[in-house]
Amino acid sequence: MNPLEAVEADTSRYRQTEAAHEQSRHALTASVLAALRAGERPTDVAAKSPFTEAYVRKLARENGIPEYLLRRYPKARAELESRLPGWRDAATAIGGLGIGLDDAEYVGGVLWYGLTHRGGEGNPEEQKRVITDRLVRWATRDGGDSSRAAAAIRSVLDEHLAGR
């Protein structure tokens, strides 16, 4: 076989394996998304795949799969209940804003995160800022008025976190 025939043969083999690799990647991505939709933790999914945790979380965001912190951290639900017994009412009120935050478990996880976030302990304004920032990022991931969303969320937090 002359050198050009070898290049042609290797190019053909390369294209065949490239197509197979691309098919495998699509199948793997579908499996990762299915696992995330089933409630598996992004960390666990990443550990079973060749993807990084950051990439798995990016896939989740891009495909509208929220990160459920109340599932991810075993102590989170009990901590949220003790710190904010009316968290379900706050989550319902935030869901009622009509900005795509109607998943109470997701919102509850963000409330827990904000209430326990380092630097926010004993600082209600910092807690509200952290919660608002996370919720606005999710609510406006496909576009939308972030300042309007922030103002609406903030008003709900002012009402439900008052006197804490």
User: Mean pLDDT for each consecutive 10-residue tract of the chain (164 residues)?
Assistant: 89 88 94 91 93 94 89 91 95 95 94 89 89 94 90 96 72
The span from the CA of 16 to the CA of 19, in Å, is 5
Positive or negative: CA dihedral 9, 11, 13, 19: negative
Model-level pTM?
0.76
Same domain, 73 and 140: yes
Do 81 and 153 belong to one domain?
Answer: yes
Domain shared by 39 and 97, yes or no: no
- First-to-final CA distance of the chain: 80
Give the model's pLDDT for residue 164.
60
pLDDT for position 50: 95
Question: Which one of 19, 38, 62 terminates a domain?
Answer: 62
Q: Which of 62, 83, 110 is the last residue of a domain?
A: 62
88 shares a domain with 8: no
The count of domains in the chain is 2
Considering the domain architecture, whether residues 114 and 78 belong to the same structural domain is answered as yes
- The region that residue 52 occupies, defined by phi over 0 for left and psi between -120 and 50 for alpha, beta otherwise, is beta
My answer on whether 153 and 73 are in the same domain is yes
Domain encompassing residue 26: 3-62
